Amino acid sequence: MTIPITSLETGDICFVNLDTDTIANEQRGSRPCIIISKQEEVRIVVVVPLTRTMDVGRFSYTMQIKKSRLNGLDSDSVAMIFQVRSISTARVEKKVGTLEDHYFEDMRKLLSSYLKLNSLSV
């Protein structure tokens, strides 16, 4: 069942189905992801996938997130900022929680650095 995009918010942690159209080292499977942006008109959300594999934290542009009642994670996880992607809301399976503000702010800074947004001139 697809969750209505109007009920999704930035910072929500949702299980997302990434089983199709993935190749090589792209994350796949049903996994928690953090919604970092949404575009209601085209039913697209931008997500950062999470993994329980703590060793992934050795890579640049990752961030450890401790499980909590608020975020709904069942284990400590690593946010893989380097795997950020846009997906259809049809891939969103269920909401499990909300990312704490301090994690979201840290992730926003890493994402800005990763995408080199500070160096873009408009």
Q: Kindly indicate the confidence band of residue 6, based on its pLDDT and cuts at 50, 70 and 90.
A: confident
Q: Which residues, listed in sequence order, are joined to residue 13 by a DSSP beta bridge?
A: 34, 97
C-alpha 57/C-alpha 79 separation (Å) is 8
pTM over 0.95: no
Tokens encoding 96: 């499990």
- Residue extents of the structural domains in the chain: 5-117
Which of these ranges, 3-12, 38-47, 56-65, has the smallest mean pLDDT?
Answer: 3-12
Over range 18-22, report the average pLDDT.
Answer: 67
Q: Tell how strand 30-39 and strand 12-17 pair up.
A: antiparallel
C-alpha 115/C-alpha 23 separation (Å) is 21
Tokens encoding 100: 């704490």
Q: pLDDT by residue (tens digit) across 48-72?
A: 999 999 999 999 999 999 999 999 9
Which CATH architecture best describes the domain 5-117? Roll (2.30)
